[in-house]
Structure 1
Amino acid sequence: MPPEMSSPPPGASQAEAPPRSPLPPSCDVLVVGAGPSGSACAQWLARAGVDVVLIDQHDFPRDKVCGDGLIPDSHAALQRLGVYAEVAAVAQRVSHVACIGPRGGRVDVPGSLSVLPRRQLDDILCRAAVNAGARRFTPVRFEAPLRDGGRVVGARVRQGGDAVHDIRSTWLVLATGAVPKALLAAGMCERQQPTGVALRGYVKNDAMAGRITAMEIVWHQRLRPGYGWIFPCRDGVFNIGVGLAHSHRKLRDGRRVMQDVNLREVFAAFCDAYAPARELMAGGTLQGELKGAPLRCSLEGARYSEPGLLVTGEAAGSTYAFTGEGIGKAMETGLLAAEALVAGRRQQSGDAAVQSAYDASLRALKPRFDLYERANRVNEHPWLADLLIWRARRNPAIVRRMSGVLDETRNPGSLVTLRGLTKLFLPVR
């Protein structure tokens, strides 16, 4: 499924593409992919005085299929990168996530939340990297890594439709997202199939602007093993979509095949089963087309590093399985890659030390991703959402526990284990 929309949502800024400049022959670090992970990595490196070249296959601003939701980990990363105020000035502030069960029960979970289309968010992050000193070149497509004696020493790239160029670099960072083409070319891909898939569109419906004010997530039997969402943007525009976790089932021979699910049919079922979605689509105007994209989750599916090369962001699986949220962790993993490279540069460490530091930092995050994998059973068994919402509406302490999952102070998996379900029927303080 193509990850780009054919046209931007209304109100999206139009900016002239930067003039095409000759690609440099070399740099300290070449970052491939100028999304949240790549831009965060490039900015942090440039701040430290590293000569960074940042390339992307698209000119900016460009659109990206996503739910556009920014939760607390996203806000924390944006603050570290110094762009939180700029993002907050154009994002739609949201005070709650609305969890809605198959029987219509609803509980509002408070949190530090906002919604901003990726076209705007990614442009802000990319410009911040350039302002910090990174050299950006677009559109430039990654073809393959350059190797010398078993070590990656740069990349072969193609600028626009021109001939290929070789850029030599001390380190190459792949922040190329969920599409595995770059991982395959670099020999870093361990699983070509995605973890999940999603379909979303933008709808303008001014009449619904005052009615849908939370980030609504909906579970229903007809959406199994996934969920639907409606997130409010600014100016009467809404991001509406459906996500399918564990979209590929594993066969006995180890191969993975797509489940027999049509996302457009799931989207239609969402609109039929959930009245606000039906009203939003019936009375609104679809901006562009419904577009799909793969998801790579749970820090699985790729090797993290080899000499001269680091893999970060969704290419490394930085999206949470349960919620499909990946923006915050993409930035976080990009920063971890930059920190490992900066520390190695200052300490004049070899490849092994940089790789070890980076791999260890991702392994330290892995248990949290595993908890979200465990919580993913709610998508497979929506009745769990009904049970949780029913109890939460009767016990504010459970709502606080759910809020803790949002800000990463509580274990999401504990809500749906046997022990966690038992606790739902016990007094909670």
Structure 2
Amino acid sequence: MNPAPGMPDSTAPLPTHCGVLIIGAGPAGSACARVLAQAGVDVLLVDQQPPGRDKTCGDGLIPDAHKALARLGLLEAVMRRAEPVSHVGCVGPRGGRIDVPGTLAVLPRKQLDALLLQAARDAGARFEQARFEAPLEEAGRVVGARLKQGDAVVDVRTPWVVLATGAVPKALTAAGMCERHTPSGVALRGYVKAPAMVGRITALEVVWDKALRPGYGWIFPAPDGHFNIGVGVTNSHRDDDGKGRKRDVNLRAIFDAFVEKYTPAAELMRVGELVGELKGAPLRFTLAGAKWTRPGLIVTGEAAGSTYSFTGEGIGKALETGMLAADALLAHANDDAAARRVYEAGLAALKPKFKLYEAANRVNDHPWLADLVIWRAKKSPRVLKRMAGVLNETSNPGNLVSFKGISRLFFE
């Protein structure tokens, strides 16, 4: 019987061998572990944080996350805990608003990640709290990892290491997989307990304004009278000169501008109670910034850049890439080259979607584009349908704000 969520496995030492070693127990790592363990693979899943650790995130579960959770057999369990939401409320600089329908929900990452980890353990994966130090290599192939647990350093040998270590590049660098050390974007998030606002903010509200450039603000209703409020900046660091210089942005100043400019945000902060502190975090976008594989090693989740630019959504694609890694290993467990080829082909197939969101990212630099699209969507059911298609990944988000797309707004 597995321990309850949030409890360590045991005080037993780390094993020295396993079938697959997964570093990182976020959505990508836990999804990969569950799929592999369900197939009977001996999985060791490690994370330097204990179960139930917090993660700076908007916590929004959009349709791709629902689809991934359904495949994992976890959608009903997640939805029992989550706050269901029926619309994304897009708000432009001039106050225009359009509610875009979708299958949506909000569940704080602390709860979601604990549930995903427990599901991996229920499937047979073993979890241990330990820190990744370096890969073990022989003849150019990764054959395991050096882990640190307390004061003990243990070499764990395995046919495959999966890195699912998120946006912080330390583990990628240690494994020789990091191609971009600076983040693609940054975000600042807080939780506010405000029972008085329940029923008044019911959509995933995303707000653009000149004062928030080059980013956006959000308020998402969470369970139990709480709200997730934050701001994000995409393309926060310029990497064109190889030095990764940060753009002249101040997340706290942007957050304060959001609260000042957007009346529901001001009211939320006035009548509610901030739970804990505002927390910032880096983001990695567009399946870029890291090598995807090397012999004996696969990089997945946000470590591989699985978060969308423009919206900052990443949970669904982290789950999806984690399962792609598991599928490749199950199909070609004893053929390194074939497993890597299949996994890389799976990521490459997703790449065009990420590129489209990258094109749509111009809205964050030019928020008047949001006004234009919102204005037209209020007059055209077809445009609103295309916006809903962006949520469902059936429409091209870049087309809405391209020259051709803007022209269509006026003439269709």
Normalising by the smaller structure, the TM-score range is over 0.9
Pick one of 212, 215, 218 that aligns with 1:226.
Answer: 215
Pick one of 183, 188, 198 that aligns with 2:177.
Answer: 188
Cα distance between partner residues in 2 of 1:360 and 1:86: 31
2:84 corresponds in structure 1 to 93
1:136 corresponds in structure 2 to 127
What is the Cα deviation at residue 239 of structure 1? 0.3
Cα distance between partner residues in 1 of 2:330 and 2:171: 24
2:362 corresponds in structure 1 to 377
Pick one of 156, 169, 177 that aligns with 2:146.
Answer: 156
1:317 equivalent in alignment to 2:305: yes
What is the Cα deviation at residue 390 of structure 1? 0.4
Kept in 2, the 8 Å contact 1:228–1:243? The answer is yes
Q: Report the AA paired with residue 97 of structure 1.
A: V
Matches within 5 A, 1:36-185: 36-138=27-129, 140-159=130-149, 161-185=150-174
Cα distance between partner residues in 1 of 2:237 and 2:112: 30
Kept in 2, the 8 Å contact 1:299–1:318? The answer is yes
What is the Cα deviation at residue 48 of structure 1? 1.3
What is the Cα deviation at residue 305 of structure 1? 0.2
Cα distance between partner residues in 2 of 1:269 and 1:101: 15
1:274 corresponds in structure 2 to 262
What is the Cα deviation at residue 172 of structure 1? 0.2
Q: Report the AA paired with residue 300 of structure 1.
A: A
What is the Cα deviation at residue 69 of structure 1? 0.1
Kept in 2, the 8 Å contact 1:216–1:229? The answer is yes
Kept in 1, the 8 Å contact 2:5–2:51? The answer is no
What is the Cα deviation at residue 255 of structure 1? 1.9
Aligned-residue CA RMSD in angstroms? 1.1
Q: Report the AA paired with residue 372 of structure 2.
A: L
State the 4+ residue runs in structure 1 displaced beyond 3 angstroms.
13-18
Cα distance between partner residues in 2 of 1:43 and 1:228: 34
Cα distance between partner residues in 1 of 2:284 and 2:81: 28
Kept in 2, the 8 Å contact 1:101–1:389? The answer is yes
Kept in 1, the 8 Å contact 2:214–2:234? The answer is yes
Pick one of 276, 294, 309 that aligns with 2:282.
Answer: 294
2:314 corresponds in structure 1 to 326
What is the Cα deviation at residue 14 of structure 1? 8.2
Per-residue CA deviations over 1:270-299 (Å, capped at 9, x if unaligned) read: 000101001101111100000000000000
What is the Cα deviation at residue 168 of structure 1? 0.3
Cα distance between partner residues in 2 of 1:17 and 1:266: 39
Kept in 1, the 8 Å contact 2:332–2:339? The answer is yes
Which structure 1 segments of 5+ residues have no match?
A: 1-12
Cα distance between partner residues in 2 of 1:38 and 1:381: 36
Kept in 2, the 8 Å contact 1:21–1:137? The answer is no
Q: Report the AA paired with residue 10 of structure 2.
A: P
Identity across matched positions, percent: 64
Cα distance between partner residues in 2 of 1:116 and 1:97: 16
1:214 corresponds in structure 2 to 203
What is the Cα deviation at residue 260 of structure 1? 1.4
TM-score, scaled relative to structure 1: 0.94
Per-residue CA deviations over 1:173-197 (Å, capped at 9, x if unaligned) read: 0000000000000010000000000
Cα distance between partner residues in 1 of 2:6 and 2:30: 18
Q: Report the AA paired with residue 121 of structure 1.
A: L
Matches within 5 A, 1:333-372: 333-345=321-333, 348-349=334-335, 351-372=336-357
SS, match of residue 162 in structure 2: strand
Q: Report the AA paired with residue 419 of structure 1.
A: K
Kept in 2, the 8 Å contact 1:20–1:137? The answer is no
Cα distance between partner residues in 2 of 1:178 and 1:310: 15
What is the Cα deviation at residue 236 of structure 1? 1.3
1:306 equivalent in alignment to 2:297: no
SS, match of residue 344 in structure 2: helix
1:7 corresponds in structure 2 to none
1:397 equivalent in alignment to 2:377: no
What is the Cα deviation at residue 423 of structure 1? 0.7
Cα distance between partner residues in 2 of 1:20 and 1:120: 24
What is the Cα deviation at residue 112 of structure 1? 0.3
TM-score, scaled relative to structure 2: 0.98
Per-residue CA deviations over 1:209-236 (Å, capped at 9, x if unaligned) read: 1110000000000111100000000121
1:197 equivalent in alignment to 2:186: yes
SS, match of residue 189 in structure 2: strand
What is the Cα deviation at residue 319 of structure 1? 0.1
Cα distance between partner residues in 2 of 1:23 and 1:235: 38
Instruction: Report how many residues are paired.
Output: 409
